[in-house]
Chains A and B, each alone.
Chain A
Amino acid sequence: MEPMAIVSIFVLSVFVGFEVVSKVSSTLHTPLMSGANAIHGVILVGAIIVADHSKTNLELGLSVAAIILATINMVGGFVVTDRMLEMFKGNKK
């Protein structure tokens, strides 16, 4: 990919990331952290890609470990966040 395109994507993502969470109440700090945590579990995609082109047993072993860890991060993260937020239901004034 073009270096300039990557820099643009990076800088714009930084600003979007700053903007979307800048006014969150402290009540939601924990679920928001947990949700963001689950989102970076998308490294699972990267782990699958490297597993696909692993050539040696070492590479494959490490990618399998990466897939396991990434799946725990992603799926566990979303489930635990949902459980936290479940507690807020029926709480609307």
Chain B
Amino acid sequence: MSRTVYDLIGLAAGVAFILALKGLSHPKTARRGNLIGAFGAGLATLVVFFYANEGSSLPLNNLGWILGAIAIGLIIGVPAARKVQMTQMPQLVALFNGVGGGAAALVAIVEYLNLGDKATTAVVIFTVFTVIVGCVSFSGSIITFMKLQELMTTRPVIFPAGRFIIAATLVSVLGVGGWVVNSLGTTPLLILAGLSLLFGVLFVLPVGGADVPIVISLLNAFTGLTVAASGYVLDSTLLIIAGTLVGASGTILTRLMAEAMGRSLFGTLFGAFTAKPQDVAAAGEERPVRSGSPDDVAILLNYARRVVIVPGFGLAVAQAQHTVRELADLMISKGIDVAYGIHPVAGRMPGHMNVLLAEANVPYDQLAEMDEVNPTFGQTDVAIVIGANDVVNPAAQTTPGCPIYGMPILEVNNAANIIFLKRSMRPGFAGIENELLYDPKTMLLFGDAKASLTKVVSALKAL
């Protein structure tokens, strides 16, 4: 295959990626967009096997190794993506992003070893960039995975002199990078990779649990840029286009996500170091709460005119989306006005709740976005909060200095009655106490969300 044909097919794949991102931005075309992207990626991969690089011939060298490695990747990747629970999707995306960053770093390292003295300064600079950012993306994503999987604490991890250690690590990463450019040695490159991995860990540790999705998106953009840089090293226009597209769209997406949470990107990344220490005394002391039975809840609902359901991560964990729909249908059949109040970042990722409720075939027009539903809480008789916490925590409006301060919330505190379905009194993902739980108009129904809802449904049917 001639270079021209090879490049033209690469260009076609690049166009497919643009159409994919465009399609993914609209609900109706999203699925098709994803398929177009997959087609482009498949095409680009296939065509590599039919083009001999300079000084090389077909079939590719090490073909058996290449095909074997792809097969192993498929055996690991496809079942992981197929079998993952809805609740664990965010961390899987983080993990996929991390391995992509790792792959880019490895590609740059191999090319660097291969070129030896022949590498131009520009190529070495791009190699250094790819190794640094790829390694940061890899280790940073592993930490976000562990936070989301709750293999480690979801709270910001702050250590003494943390910001100095982070700054010192960054300075040494850049210093060693300069050393690599000057000396062209293998050892400095490996030291660079090690230090970058360390920096990725230190960079993500201080980020609080609720902000993790923003960081995943940022690391995703980073990985895109490393792919673009390795495209320069390998003289591949396709990699430059694809990587830059992801880098640019990922940056915008990160900003949009930060805005949806009412956060500045800077505050997300460095907030843990500047936030005032929280008032933790309240968490320790026992305070009275009003807990109720499923029957109490059913009676309250039976005489309500308007009910707003606020789903959160607990709904996803309990897989209660079908049960909640059953409850909503039952209330509607009793003439009660029912809406779902969807916070843009409820759950572990933006849009998580929409996906979950769509699975249970909840009609789209019952889903109300935050701006729509907030003014109506004053006329709402009962707000049912199912496994959500931070997104309804009034502390975001009233307590300056708390980690979620400034985040827009669903103002369920304006409803006449509030029902919280919770597993325990444990605070939400951000680790902040919620005053609303102690409010006299709040009733708590403890237990697994699905079990509780099932009991409420049968109690309501009996009335």
Residues of A within 8 A of B (CB): 1, 3, 6, 9-10, 13-18, 20-56, 58-60, 62-93
7 interchain residue pairs of minimum CB distance: A71-B73, A17-B248, A76-B77, A13-B244, A29-B350, A73-B100, A67-B69
Q: A24-B253, A76-B80, A79-B81 are in contact. Are A62 and B110 (CB under 8 A)?
A: yes
Decide: A37 and B220 in contact? CB cutoff 8 A.
yes
Decide: A27 and B62 in contact? CB cutoff 8 A.
no
Decide if B364 is an interface residue (CB 8 Å cutoff). Answer: yes
Which of B34, B250, B260 has most A Cβ within 10 Å? Answer: B34
Which of A41, A59, A78, A91 has most B Cβ within 10 Å? Answer: A41
A3 CA to B240 CA in the complex, in Å?
13
Q: Which residues of B contact A86 (CB under 8 A)?
A: 31
Q: Which residues of B contact A47 (CB under 8 A)?
A: 103, 106-107
Number of inter-chain CB pairs below 8 Å: 381
Decide: B73 and A67 in contact? CB cutoff 8 A.
yes
Contact of A68 among B21, B37, B53, B72 (CB under 8 A): B72
Tell me the minimal C-beta distance from A39 to chain B in angstroms.
Answer: 5
Tell me the minimal C-beta distance from B199 to chain A in angstroms.
Answer: 20
A12 CA to B13 CA in the complex, in Å?
16
A9 CA to B246 CA in the complex, in Å?
14
Decide if B109 is an interface residue (CB 8 Å cutoff). Answer: yes
Decide if B336 is an interface residue (CB 8 Å cutoff). Answer: no
Decide: B65 and A69 in contact? CB cutoff 8 A.
no
Q: Which residues of A contact B252 (CB under 8 A)?
A: 17-18, 21-22
Tell me the minimal C-beta distance from B356 to chain A in angstroms.
Answer: 8
Decide: A82 and B250 in contact? CB cutoff 8 A.
no
Tell me the minimal C-beta distance from A23 to chain B in angstroms.
Answer: 7
Tell me the minimal C-beta distance from B327 to chain A in angstroms.
Answer: 20
A–B pairs, 17, beta carbons within 8 Å: A13-B241, A29-B217, A30-B351, A30-B355, A31-B355, A35-B37, A36-B21, A37-B220, A45-B44, A49-B234, A53-B56, A63-B65, A68-B73, A79-B77, A79-B78, A79-B81, A80-B93
Please name 17 further chain A to chain B contacts, defined as beta carbons within 8 Å, in addition to the given A29-B217, A67-B69, A68-B70, sorted by A numbering: A1-B235, A18-B252, A20-B245, A21-B24, A24-B25, A25-B27, A26-B344, A32-B249, A35-B24, A36-B224, A43-B100, A48-B60, A66-B106, A66-B110, A75-B73, A77-B96, A91-B361
Decide: A46 and B20 in contact? CB cutoff 8 A.
no
**Which size class do B's interface residues fall under?**
35 or more
Q: Which residues of B contact A42 (CB under 8 A)?
A: 13, 17, 40-41, 44-45, 227, 238-239, 242
Decide: B44 and A20 in contact? CB cutoff 8 A.
no
Q: A32-B24, A38-B38, A53-B114 are in contact. Are A68 and B69 (CB under 8 A)?
A: yes
A40 CA to B248 CA in the complex, in Å?
12
Tell me the minimal C-beta distance from A69 to chain B in angstroms.
Answer: 4
Decide: B220 and A36 in contact? CB cutoff 8 A.
yes
Q: Which residues of B contact A77 (CB under 8 A)?
A: 81, 93, 96, 100
Tell me the minimal C-beta distance from B454 to chain A in angstroms.
Answer: 22
Q: Which residues of A contact B365 (CB under 8 A)?
A: 93
Decide if B256 is an interface residue (CB 8 Å cutoff). Answer: yes
Q: A44-B103, A53-B61, A80-B84 are in contact. Are A75 and B78 (CB under 8 A)?
A: yes
**Proximity string of chain B (19-60) to chain A, C-beta cutoff 8 Å, 1 when within and 0 when not:** 011101111101101110110110011001100010110001
Q: A39-B246, A40-B243, A67-B66 are in contact. Are A26 and B100 (CB under 8 A)?
A: no
Decide if B314 is an interface residue (CB 8 Å cutoff). Answer: no
Q: A31-B30, A35-B34 are in contact. Are A71 and B249 (CB under 8 A)?
A: no
Q: Which residues of A contact B232 (CB under 8 A)?
A: 6
Q: A21-B252, A45-B45 are in contact. Are A29 and B358 (CB under 8 A)?
A: no
Taking CB atoms and an 8 Å cut-off, the chain B residues in 97-115 that contact chain A are 97, 99-100, 102-104, 106-107, 109-111, 113-114
Decide if B216 is an interface residue (CB 8 Å cutoff). Answer: yes
Contact of B21 among A21, A46, A91 (CB under 8 A): A21
Contact of B240 among A13, A52, A85 (CB under 8 A): A13
Taking CB atoms and an 8 Å cut-off, the chain B residues in 253-267 that contact chain A are 253, 256-257, 260
Q: Which residues of A contact B110 (CB under 8 A)?
A: 50-51, 54, 59, 62-63, 66
Decide: B351 and A39 in contact? CB cutoff 8 A.
no
Q: Which residues of B contact A58 (CB under 8 A)?
A: 113
A59 CA to B107 CA in the complex, in Å?
9
Q: A30-B355, A53-B53, A87-B358 are in contact. Are A24 and B31 (CB under 8 A)?
A: no
Q: Which residues of B contact A66 (CB under 8 A)?
A: 102-103, 106-107, 110
Decide if B379 is an interface residue (CB 8 Å cutoff). Answer: no
Q: Which residues of A contact B72 (CB under 8 A)?
A: 68, 71
A8 CA to B96 CA in the complex, in Å?
30
A64 CA to B61 CA in the complex, in Å?
12
Tell me the minimal C-beta distance from B139 to chain A in angstroms.
Answer: 13
Q: A24-B253, A45-B239 are in contact. Are A18 and B260 (CB under 8 A)?
A: no
Decide: B17 and A39 in contact? CB cutoff 8 A.
yes
Decide if B171 is an interface residue (CB 8 Å cutoff). Answer: no
Q: Which residues of B contact A14 (CB under 8 A)?
A: 244, 247-248
